[in-house]
Copies of this chain bind each other. A is one copy, B any other.
């Protein structure tokens, strides 16, 4: 899918959350701010490049805030914004569905 033409709301949402990583990243931010490398550890199979790009996208959408602490070495924290909290139901529902999916395999 290239770009929205219909303007359908699900389409919009899926465009932003499409790609497997973004919702996953958000799910790791629900318990509070995390640093870049902490997220890398949480999601070991994401490439550094994708982690950066996905975080930037979420930031641009106003769902995640990026805070730089000018220490040495630099410290950067990512946190859900108030708007980002709106993703919590999405994360919850998706996690529940995923659990069911997995449980069904046995």
> Interface code A62-106, partner B: CB below 8 Å = 1, 0 otherwise?
100000000000000000000100110111011111111110100
Closest beta carbon of chain B to A16's beta carbon, Å: 7
Closest beta carbon of chain B to A83's beta carbon, Å: 8
Question: Are B87 and A97 touching (Cβ within 8 A)?
Answer: yes
Q: What secondary structure prevails in chain A residues at the interface with B? A: helix
* A1 to B, closest residue via Cβ: B20
Question: Are A12 and B101 touching (Cβ within 8 A)?
Answer: yes
Given contacts A14-B20, A20-B11, contact A6 B44 (CB under 8 A): yes
Given contacts A5-B45, A20-B1, A45-B1, contact A10 B102 (CB under 8 A): no
Q: Which of B1, B7, B89, B98 touches A13 (beta carbons < 8 Å)?
A: B98
Question: Are A102 and B5 touching (Cβ within 8 A)?
Answer: no
A36 is an interface residue with CB less than 8 A from chain B: no
Question: Are A10 and B94 touching (Cβ within 8 A)?
Answer: yes
Question: Are A6 and B45 touching (Cβ within 8 A)?
Answer: yes
